[in-house]
Structure 1
Amino acid sequence: MTEITVKSGALPPSIERFVVAWGEMGEVWGVNRSVAQIHALLYVSERPLSAEEIAERLHLARSNVSNSLRELIAWSLIRRASPLGARRDVYEAEADVFEMVRRIAAGRKAREIDPAIAALRQCVVAAEDDPAVSADVRRRFRTMLDFTQGVAKSFDEVLRLPTPVLARLIKMGGAVARLAGLTSGRAGKRGREKS
């Protein structure tokens, strides 16, 4: 049984399955299940929902919903709206999947990759002045730092691509690497030509 039980009949079966599956995937990615399920519910909702409606549809404690909404707002995955004359705030998710993925990716980079780069830089600096650290270990630190910084730079460049360009690159898949001659097919051919 999951932490969150969607009230039977409250949602169409396909939407209920999506909400539950998104919550399960969220847990694998290190996101609280209720946060992921609330995000999923708002993503498929045709109109903004109040915290009370979310709590009712997902059978969650109102305090859990409030905390989860704050986290989703911090990730910029949802926004709060205060309609004129309404007594309650409502929430809606970013509906553009490319923008949503950009925000998730940027948040993950800020929380995971950027601190790793900072730690690696400290290791490189500390190792340079430490005679107990061999030249091989210093080289490994620098290699790891260079690699991680390269990943971060590439990551940032991909996130800045206009949506139509990014969508086209995704559809091309491995064709991009083949076009650049980076896969075994063309790379192997080039290697044989040089021999």
Structure 2
Amino acid sequence: MTAEPATVKSHVSVAAPSPAAEEIRLRLADAWGEMGAAWGVAPAIARVHAYLMTRQAPLTEREVREALGLSHRAASLALADAEAWGLVERVAEPRRVGRRGPAGAAYQAIGDHWRWLGRVVAERKVREGDPIIDVLERTAKDVIAASVTSPEDRDLAALREWISTFLVFVRLFDRAVGLVPRLEPRELERALRLLGEVPDATVLRLVRLLDGLPDDDVLDLVEVVSKLSPTAARRATKLMSGVVRTVGG
């Protein structure tokens, strides 16, 4: 994926890293690379991402290559893939002291962690979630077709039921994951920050409370609340809090 270089002021310069900081930075990049496979990201891409994040400055392909000990081809591919994943962006190369001529291309990590997280989730959904659903849907059709020709086959009947149940599970999970990149970074950050301020015991009580309510009641409440304006929602929240305290007391 090719992106138009973002604007970087030409007078910006990149300071040389200190040996102590660089040693720690490279260790983190190596560890990040090892974990990359578990996240569905190639180790080289994860290493490049971690290094650029911790450098917090635009770097050229050569600078990234030399820092991480990569070949020109490996560095170029890793940077291109990191850009495709939405982890880094291409920018104008900042001026270095003593260098003349036009600025070339450089790369910098997406500074907003919530922004690149949403992009990674969206990319993984396209690369992994959607293909899995396609495979399961084709398999479900195959099982249904086979069941028509062999209606007495109990093994086929059991397989059909399992595929149907598993497909529902995967679709629900895929939909939940798919909502993450549709949120604005600040919306996602606030939602998770607020959730982080709620004690685990409270979250578990709410989940168990929902489990005891009829589905229709929960869905009706969600539908009604979702249609409120921010002002009306604030009033409703205060009113609901008062009612709950009264009933609970």
Q: In which range does the TM-score fall when normalised by the shorter chain?
A: 0.7 to 0.9
* Greater relative contact order, per chain length (Cα 8 Å cut-off, separation 6+): 2
Contact 1:158 1:166 in 2 (8 A): no
Cα deviation for residue 73 of structure 1 reads 1.0
Q: Count residues in correspondence.
A: 178
> What's the counterpart of residue 191 of structure 1?
none
> What's the counterpart of residue 126 of structure 1?
142
1:33 and 2:43 matched: yes
Cα deviation for residue 32 of structure 1 reads 2.7
With normalisation by structure 2, the TM-score equals 0.63
- Mark the structure with the bigger radius of gyration: 2
From 12, 20, 24, the counterpart of 1:14 = 24
> What's the counterpart of residue 165 of structure 1?
191
Classify 1:144/1:70 alpha carbon distance in 2 versus 1 (closer, same or farther; 3 Å).
same
Contact 1:39 1:72 in 2 (8 A): yes
**Unpaired segments of 5 or more residues in structure 1?**
1-7, 188-195
**Unpaired segments of 5 or more residues in structure 2?**
1-17, 95-100, 213-249
- How many angstroms apart in 1 are the aligned matches of 2:209 and 2:75? 47
From 80, 87, 90, the counterpart of 2:90 = 80
Moved over 6 A (4+): none
Classify 1:61/1:182 alpha carbon distance in 2 versus 1 (closer, same or farther; 3 Å).
farther
Question: RMSD of the TM alignment (CA)?
Answer: 2.7
Map residues 29-178 of structure 1 onto 2, 5 A cutoff.
29-82=39-92, 86-131=102-147, 132=150, 134-161=156-183, 162-163=187-188, 164-172=190-198, 174=200, 175-178=202-205
Cα deviation for residue 35 of structure 1 reads 1.6
- How many angstroms apart in 2 are the aligned matches of 1:171 and 1:159? 22
3-state DSSP of counterpart to 2:146: coil
Contact 2:25 2:54 in 1 (8 A): yes
Cα deviation for residue 172 of structure 1 reads 3.8
